[in-house]
């Protein structure tokens, strides 16, 4: 039997509005000072790559192509 692991990842030229991990108590979850109200912007360059690995090898790195007919010109299955 052969096991293959595959995954995709997004590569961007800039981060998405500086993600930070924040830990707080449940009762403080929605307090106004704790909520990020910044406008989030998309990175000017962003693409999705996909690859697979197995015991004796790996696939090529696949660069996913955007679909110009998809909503927001994203990716389609």
Per residue in 30-64, pLDDT (tens digit) is 777 767 666 667 777 888 999 999 999 999 999 99
Residues 6+ apart with CB under 8 A from 40: 16, 17
DSSP 3-state of 26: helix
- The chain-wide mean pLDDT, for the chain, equals 82
Average pLDDT over residues 6-24: 77
pLDDT of residue 63: 93
pLDDT of residue 17: 60
DSSP 3-state of 12: strand
């Amino acid at each position: 039997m052969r096991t293959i692991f595959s995954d995709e990842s997004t590569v961007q030229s800039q981060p998405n509005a500086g993600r930070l991990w924040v830990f707080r108590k449940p009762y403080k979850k929605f307090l106004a000072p704790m909520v990020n109200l910044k406008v989030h912007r998309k990175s000017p360059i962003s693409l999705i790559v996909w690859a697979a690995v197995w015991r004796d090898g790996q696939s090529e790195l696949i660069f996913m192509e955007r679909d110009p007919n998809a909503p927001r010109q994203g990716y389609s299955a």
